Amino acid sequence: MNPRVVLASSGLMMLPSALQGEPSMAYQRTFGPAVDPITRLGWGLGIISLSVIVIIGALLLGGIFRKRSTIPAAELPQPTARDDAGGMAWIYIGTGTTVLILIGCVVWTLLVTAAVAEPAGAREMTVEVTASQWWWSLRYDNQNPGQIFNTANEIHIPVGRPVRFELSSADVIHSFWVPQLAGKMDVIPGQTNVAWMQADKAGVYRGQCAAFCGPQHAHMALLVVAETPEAFAAWREGQVTESVMPATDEAHHGQLIFETHCAPCHTIRGVTPAGIRGPDLTHLMTRRTLAAGLLPNTPENLTGWIASPQFFKPGAHMPDHILSGPELIAVAAYLHTLN
Ligand code: HEC
Ligand SMILES: [Cu+2]
């Protein structure tokens, strides 16, 4: 069947209301320690620039609309040396003020940049982030190799602890930005940039690629879930585990179809270990969204996405698959077991 028909008949077209109803999607407006100085700087520079524009605009308008003398220029008294000196004084004052304001802005910017470059405390852990068109691959480092795991698009961090990020790109230039928690950092092919982030309050914070990286750039979001250290430890423990054999026949049938069609690109640890072109799906069902923040992770959206990723995200590097209806349902049933 035409995927559009499947989507329309399954209520998928009503995405916005589906998003609103999801309690976990209630984004919070609280910040980490790096954000206050950056926010103050942003507002400060904005207000200074705006004041300069307003003052210069007012002077310009004043000059344009000032009443002009009707006496012919030749009959005007010649300016004296004192008048000239007064005029020059204004030029010095104007230039001097401009230079001072600009130097002030530079110094302030440098101080803020230096202040937020490093966290106050020791960094809790390192997450390697690899940006691809148009999703985020995540690898949680650990001294114990058995504790290292991959996931995608949803970063979990413990509240109140600084986390280090090593950012690299698999294709073009991207930019890693979670505005409520930290400044932007470019993600550049062939280079590893380091950033850090700390959330002082539990919550779900939305991030977004902030450097135009192709047609689906706007749909390259990520979520940062900041949670208590206990909840984080529980999440991490779940993520480390390998996938278990599905219990039902249908899901098992779905797994076989997955191994044929999807394994070249997707890793499910314990089942299809080699796919790296698409997100790691080992614990897909623990994630809140699909396709880098594009769709809430509901059963309807998951089936719709497998049926036609190109309908939702034209140009995304996952092809539409020609699966029969029963095959589609079996694959979806299998993915539902990936907790
Ligand atoms: C050619 C490589 C490729 C193949 C084959 C492929 N995918 Fe994907 N898949 C991707 C890419 C790339 C993405 C990320 C798309 C994006 O968000 O831009 C993705 C995303 C997904 C997602 C969303 C994951 C998330 O966390 O957002 C699911 C679920 C998924 N694929 C399932 C499947 C299934 C099921 C199949 C087999 C029927 C399959 N894929 C076949 C490349 C592939
Ligand atoms: Cu981008």
Question: Can you give the pTM of this predicted structure?
Answer: 0.81
Ligand 1 pocket, 264 CB below 6 A?
yes
CA distances from 163 to 10, 126, 282 (A): 40, 6, 23
φ, ψ at 149 (rounded to 5°): -150, 160
Nearest residue (CA) to ligand 1, atom 14: 278
* C-alpha–C-alpha distance, residues 299 and 79, integer Å: 83
Residue 29 scores a pLDDT above 80: no
Report the percentage of the chain scoring pLDDT > 90: 65
Residue 120 scores a pLDDT above 80: no
Same CATH topology for 3-29+242-335 and 125-240: the answer is: yes
* pLDDT category of residue 78 using cuts at 50, 70 and 90: confident
Dist. CA 141 → ligand 1 center (Å): 24
Ligand 1 pocket, 257 CB below 6 A?
no
Ligand 1 pocket, 313 CB below 6 A?
yes
Half-sphere exposure of 275 (CA within 13 A, CB side): 23
* pLDDT category of residue 281 using cuts at 50, 70 and 90: very high
**pLDDT mean over 79-91:** 78
* C-alpha–C-alpha distance, residues 93 and 91, integer Å: 5
Closest ligand to 306 CA? Answer: 1
Dist. CA 315 → ligand 2 center (Å): 14
* pLDDT category of residue 251 using cuts at 50, 70 and 90: very high
Residue 11 backbone zone (phi > 0: left; psi -120 to 50: alpha; other: beta): left
**pLDDT mean over 2-6:** 39
Dist. CA 290 → ligand 1 center (Å): 9
Closest ligand to 135 CA? Answer: 1
* C-alpha–C-alpha distance, residues 89 and 78, integer Å: 19
Mutation test residue for ligand 1: of 133, 265, 298, the one with most atoms within 8 Å of CB = 265
DSSP result, 233-244: HHHHHHHHSPPP
* pLDDT category of residue 137 using cuts at 50, 70 and 90: very high
Looking up tokens 């999807």 gives 262
* C-alpha–C-alpha distance, residues 47 and 246, integer Å: 59
* C-alpha–C-alpha distance, residues 254 and 326, integer Å: 9
Ligand 1 pocket, 299 CB below 6 A?
no
Instruction: State the chain's mean pLDDT as an integer.
Output: 87
Residue 106 scores a pLDDT above 60: yes
Q: Considering just the CA atoms, what is the radius of gyration of the chain in Å?
A: 28
Query: What is the DSSP secondary structure assignment for residue 283, as one 8-state letter?
Result: T
CATH entry, 3-29+242-335, from 2.60.40.420, 3.40.190.10, 3.40.980.10, 1.10.3720.10: 2.60.40.420
Residue 151 scores a pLDDT above 50: yes
* pLDDT category of residue 311 using cuts at 50, 70 and 90: very high
CA 152 to ligand 1: nearest atom: 26
Which is nearest to 136 in space by CA: 94, 178, 105?
178
Which is nearest to 335 in space by CA: 260, 270, 243, 219?
243
Residue 133 scores a pLDDT above 90: yes
Residue 247 scores a pLDDT above 90: no
φ, ψ at 63 (rounded to 5°): -65, -40
> In 10-132, which residue ranges form alpha helices assigned H by DSSP?
15-20, 35-65, 81-117
Residue 5 scores a pLDDT above 90: no
**pLDDT mean over 58-86:** 82
pLDDT for the residue numbered 94: 87
* C-alpha–C-alpha distance, residues 278 and 225, integer Å: 21
* pLDDT category of residue 80 using cuts at 50, 70 and 90: confident
pLDDT for the residue numbered 27: 43
Dist. CA 244 → ligand 2 center (Å): 35
> In the chain, which residue ranges form alpha helices assigned H by DSSP?
3-9, 15-20, 35-65, 81-117, 229-240, 249-261, 299-307, 309-312, 325-335
Which is nearest to 227 in space by CA: 155, 294, 135?
155
Closest ligand to 308 CA? Answer: 1
Question: Which residues does residue 295 pair with via DSSP β-bridges, in sequence order?
Answer: 290
Domain boundaries, the chain: 3-29+242-335, 35-117, 125-240
Ligand 1 pocket, 304 CB below 6 A?
no
Dist. CA 218 → ligand 1 center (Å): 18
State which H helix or E strand residue 165 sits in.
Answer: strand 163-169
Q: Which CATH architecture has domain 125-240?
A: Sandwich (2.60)
